Structure 1
Amino acid sequence: MVLTIPTRRRVFALIGGPIVTSLAGCLNNSDSQPAGDTDDGNNESTPESNDNHDHENSHELGHPEKRIEVRMESDDDSNHFVPHVVHIEEGGTVTWVLESGAHDTVSYHPDNADLLPSTSERRMPEETLPWRSELYRTRGETFERTFEETGVYDYTCTVVEHGHGPDRGHGPYGHHRTHEATGMVGRVIVGWPELDPDAQPALQSPADGLPDATKRELEGFNERTRAALEHPDEH
């Protein structure tokens, strides 16, 4: 079940079929690589992903919150969701807020393959609905999603930068690198899901077709998720 909730920021929701769209900005600290413009946005030679971004982040996995914000940010050579991984309660809400640059938030689900083919890998629980926001360009724009189902949900930014400015997905600009290909991905952990890759596809190893930087990030997410959830009584 997907709910979008108005905030004091400007929010527009477009609900149709299995997809919910709304004005949103992403916020999250994600390790990403410098964006280039000579790649196909998929498997490419990219620098090693650094997990040492010095982003402010007081959110601690293993302590699920009712509401949390994820910032979407750009700097001179990289793009980030901050925090990269968040942990919320069942029925909790994530609000993505555009801090800088141009971004969207799109879940890994087959229904989003028309926007970016690599998102066709389902990395969220079965029987849950995907989401895709609009492309946001104005600081402060937001997108909200309420997560009713326990589970692990992965998402990315499909924006590509080219000579005419930002766009979404490959479109006619397939030779330019998407933000996904630089490692701009994020994760939402809802409740206390079982650490079973069969029940939680996001815990499976990333598909070979994903960009190398993305695969590195998702593998790191899996390590952090297991470390946070394996011993819930300690939190």
Structure 2
Amino acid sequence: MSRLALIDYGSGNLRSAEKALVRAAGGQVEVRVTHAPEEVLAADRIVLPGVGAFAACRAALDARPGLGEALDEAVRVRGRPFLGICVGMQLMASRGLEFGVTPGLGWIPGEVRRLQPTDPSAKVPHMGWNDLIDPHGPGLIAGIGASPMYFTHSFAFWPDDTADVAAEADHGGRFPAAVVRGNMAGVQFHPEKSQSAGISLLSRFLEWRP
């Protein structure tokens, strides 16, 4: 049985994500909640959740000895399929601009900036259901179509290369809702809160062969 490492670094809807992944796995993939570097390196797939401020999440990740190095080895060197959720997606960026400048993991060049809606009725934080626009690229994202997903965030990740954007959403202006580069994917929304559409995405990730 293949194994998925759901990263526990003290930030994220960990139990909700675990339950959703277990449901999506249907007993075919072992979902293990961990921050142990050796378990991350042994995993076949990795999911990094995240809720809160970019800088706080980065600090929490760095506070787990060896975890950042294990993630980099597993994802960038060994090519394990990776999914970042919300701030877990944002951490893939070069830097975050929330409460100052904080370096990200640097896996996909770009930066995390505050939403700036042009429509005054579009409040920040952006919370609630929103449709995906133009989901494309690998079947991981394209296959779920323009389904509504559940968002809760004030910042978003803008990659330097727009080819890395796999879907957008509109909240007084478009922003990237999903990114994909090689074996690395990230979603700004919360699939664990997005009912059947979110479970469908997680199921696709568990079968994804980038």
Instruction: Normalising by structure 2, report the TM-score.
Output: 0.28
- The structure that is helix-richer by fraction is 2
Instruction: Normalising by structure 1, report the TM-score.
Output: 0.26
